[in-house]
Chain A
């Protein structure tokens, strides 16, 4: 995979003029970048091009197997989508769901990270072990155990609630109502994604020089004030990265929604864009429409993260 670099006969005695070194570096860089670059071109750039292309065609099963000619539709798939009431509902649900998951995992992750820096080892170790266990639990396994905990008939939550006197909660279905379904999925997502934020922020906070914090204490700043005015601004670049990663992950969640709502719920009441696109394309065999949805998703995610990066860039000095 790695081709041998051109042998270097003599070490340059005098720093060579700029251009030969640059050219040599360029050649070496090309070799080093080739394996990853080719892969990314083939599996990321080309598919994006294809996605946009397919979204302009009437692309169903006959076209996919080559039994029917391709018909260019222009923006027909997009107008179909924008005129579809369900699309707007799914979009609203996706944005709301993403926002709840992002805010939830950031708040919980950062809060617990701050807490973890203030306690002794005996309390911190169990916290980290628990967080690692939640993080390590695969999305599929996590979805199932949360479903099981909230199961209408055999779930622990209903039994405990009815045991506490909320008798109406016996056999209550958490996955019937749209809000409670999304709430349950969001809880699972936050549970398994806050550890990433926590570990990142904990490492960042530990990286803040002790003296700065100590100086603030000596100046009479409260714990709250120190955290809010000194620690958090100093770990802002990390917070930015954690936020972007959370937005990217939570916006395109598939497994949890698919498993916990059993494919999007009855009549697709509990869909997010990602599952919606999948259903349109592979269950409904409307690849053109599914591709248009994919393009919309990509543009949305790029603009959300782009806006966020821009708003952070000046203050964080990042990139």
Chain B
């Protein structure tokens, strides 16, 4: 930033660029604004002839209706459980794999790397059918991981976020100098200790990026929740809870917007917590 300020190169039309920037920001933010606004508008104003971009009589009626509706809070909690477990485990597993693939020297490493790359390109949604049968038979052995249970969603999302996570983290792990490992070895640290107490904190920015992507992936999932959780509606996740309010002819827009707002808040909070790191991370992730 300092360099830019000191530099004397003229930047023609910067003000115009800045105005364009703010206009784009307004356009991009508008649907989110409209969603939140409509969630607070009384029903009469939502379905009015001339919708106004503000409301003088905000109401919580839609939120009350959504939250008192059948099991919305429970679905919300289910979504949180799935997303949090997926994030935690994918951090752990992708870190272990990335360490093995970057810092260890063994036969078949290149083949494994290529497989991780190819795995990212498999359209996982195409695997819905075999996964449905697989999870159904898993349920015979370990019910918590079978269809109709949250475990099945966790396993599926975990497997799907891993290839990209491993690939991304690889760059971060590789960027930690080898000398650091040798120095810690001389100081008497075991490889295990080096891995967890030195390497793990050092790749934190990469872990941030992985957690964001894994969280969004698990939180947004509609297809697998719809397919796997068929009869045990107690274990349904959030997207299906909102679907209830949507009927092509007679949609309860207030409830849909309130539910959508509630669904967006956790992701937004998560983003705000990590946003400082996110930007630097996306660039660094792929340089390794």
Contacts and interface: CB of A to CB of B under 8 A. Distances in A.
Nearest to B20: A115
Contacts, number: 326
Contacts of A254: 125, 222-223
Interface in B175-194: 185-186, 190-192
B107 A22 contact: yes
Contacts of B104: 25-26, 28-29, 32
Interface in B182-217: 185-186, 190-192, 216
B134 A50 contact: yes
A225 interface: no
B162 A40 contact: yes
- Which of A137, A140, A297 has the most chain B CB atoms closer than 10 A to its own CB? A140
A112 B279 contact: no
Interface string B46-70: 1111110000000000000000000
A11 B186 contact: yes
A7 B187 CA distance: 16
B78 to A, nearest CB: 15
Interface residues of B, number: 111
Contact of A291 (B121, B130, B185, B219): B130
Contacts of B49: 159
B246 to A, nearest CB: 7
A144 interface: yes
Contacts of B271: 132, 135-136
A8 B190 contact: yes
Contacts of A145: 31-32, 34-35, 38, 257, 260
A223 B12 contact: yes
A26 B104 CA distance: 7
A302 B122 CA distance: 7
B155 to A, nearest CB: 6
A182 to B, nearest CB: 18
B279 A118 contact: no
Interface in A199-253: 199-200, 202-204, 206-207, 210, 214, 217-218, 223, 237-238, 241, 244-245, 248, 251-252
Given A26-B107, A36-B166, A203 B268 contact: no
A130 B26 CA distance: 7
B263 A138 contact: yes
Contact of B125 (A127, A132, A274): A274
Given A118-B14, A134-B31, A159-B51, A144 B123 contact: no
A248 B122 CA distance: 8
B31 A142 contact: yes
Which of the four size classes fits the interface of chain A?
A: 35 or more
Nearest to B157: A43
27 contacts: A5-B191, A29-B100, A40-B159, A44-B122, A44-B160, A50-B133, A64-B133, A123-B19, A127-B22, A130-B29, A133-B28, A136-B268, A138-B216, A138-B219, A148-B34, A149-B34, A154-B48, A163-B50, A203-B282, A217-B9, A254-B125, A254-B222, A291-B129, A294-B126, A295-B126, A305-B121, A306-B121
Given A33-B112, A278-B128, A291-B129, 11 more contacts: A47-B130, A127-B22, A127-B24, A136-B267, A137-B35, A144-B256, A274-B123, A278-B223, A294-B127, A298-B123, A302-B122
Interface of B: 1, 3-4, 7, 9, 11-12, 14, 17-22, 24-26, 28-29, 31-32, 34-35, 38, 46-51, 92-94, 96-97, 99-101, 104-107, 109, 112, 117-134, 155-156, 158-160, 162-164, 166, 185-186, 190-192, 216, 219-220, 222-223, 227, 238-239, 242-243, 246, 248, 253, 256-257, 259-261, 263-264, 267-268, 270-272, 275, 278-284, 286-287
The 9 closest A-B pairs by CB, nearest first: A203-B283, A43-B159, A141-B260, A50-B130, A294-B126, A32-B100, A123-B18, A130-B29, A26-B106
